[in-house]
Amino acid sequence: MIRTATPADIPVIHALVRELAEYEKALEEARATPEQLHEALFGPRPAAYAHIAVDDTTGEPAGFALWFLNFSTWRGVHGIYLEDLYVRPEARGTGHGKALLTELARICVERGYQRLEWSVLNWNRPSIDFYESLGARAQDEWTVYRLTDGALQSLGSSR
């Protein structure tokens, strides 16, 4: 079962973000606090949205998807950028990941969005194989760039 996250889900979303960061071998980079997640998802100007996958047998959260809107100047419409998709190891292979992606694709179709995009680490072959089995294709002619920390501060402070 997939459901829209509520404010009561913030502790589990925070825990799942940290589990994902640990899986991706980058736990030290996961600095978001529960308060920040609450503000981003449920504050006066939400910047992101989340869905929770719930195990049908136990009723416990099995995974989540956290996403936000992007915009294509070429297509002239919004799309969804999937920031995080994570299913707990013990729940993998039971359809939760596919159900989360299906829900986001349904939202795209319903709202007229024309893209559902995300990034995956190059070493994460199980996820790559899963995404390709759904019809997703790598956009390998593009390279992602990022400014953070000191480089962002330096550029943002220059005139």
pLDDT higher than 90, residue 159:
no
Q: Residues 64-114: pLDDT tens digits?
A: 999 999 999 999 999 999 999 999 999 999 999 999 999 999 999 999 999
In the chain, the percentage of residues whose pLDDT exceeds 70 is: 100
CA-to-CA distance for 71 and 89, rounded, in angstroms?
Answer: 33
List 49, 86, 113, 131, catalytic entry: 131
Q: What angle do CA 32, 37, 39 make, to 5 degrees?
A: 125
Please say if 23 is a catalytic residue: no
Q: What is the pTM of this model?
A: 0.92
CA-to-CA distance for 102 and 132, rounded, in angstroms?
Answer: 14
